[in-house]
Amino acid sequence: MKPMSVAAIMTREVTCVSPEQKIIDVKHIYEKSNFHHHIPVVIDKKLVGMISLIDFMYRIKGAGMDDNNEIYHTLSVKDIMTPNPYKVSPTASITEVAEELGKGRFRAIPVTENDRIVGIVTTADVIRFYLAEQEK
């Protein structure tokens, strides 16, 4: 039996930001309900970085919820992103992705084709997949 690819469980509609955007935009993305905590950073859909909620929280240093706080309008995405993130192709197996996520370095992995973002897969996606498999 051929291993199932990550394309079967990844989120295809991915909210992305550009390196030049101010982090106020990132704040507003995180304030949306049901938003996962990782944001790919792209230039013309080409993946150049990632922002995690931890990256964001560390850099705002207690700025609070006030949109008028100077830090939200001073720092850009490029100032807080992790450049050249680990990524996988849509053909990567779910097991391969689970093993990488299991190492604890990431909670989400961008999925790319020719360096262009086509999806994102999270630890929660993999857990849901394996739980569903157990119920079969």
Task: Give tens-digit pLDDT for 97-134.
Answer: 999 999 999 899 999 999 999 999 999 999 999 999 88
pLDDT at 77: 97
User: Distance between CA atoms of 23 and 21, rounded to whole angstroms?
Assistant: 6
| H runs (alpha helix) in the chain | 23-31, 53-60, 70-74, 77-80, 94-102, 123-134
Domain count, the chain: 1
* pLDDT of residue 1 exceeding 70: no
For residue 44, the enclosing domain spans 6-134
Name the average pLDDT for the chain.
92
Residue predicted with more confidence, 133 or 35: 133
Q: Provide the 10 A C-beta neighbour count for residue 98.
A: 17
Q: Does a structural domain hold residue 42?
A: yes
Q: What is the average pLDDT across 80-101?
A: 96
Q: What is the average pLDDT across 48-59?
A: 91
* pLDDT of residue 55 exceeding 60: yes
Q: Does a structural domain hold residue 1?
A: no
Answer yes or no: pTM beyond 0.85.
Answer: yes
Give ∠ CA 49-51-53 in degrees, rounded to 5: 170
CATH code: domain of residue 64 = 3.10.580.10
Q: What is the average pLDDT across 35-59?
A: 91
User: Distance between CA atoms of 26 and 33, rounded to whole angstroms?
Assistant: 14
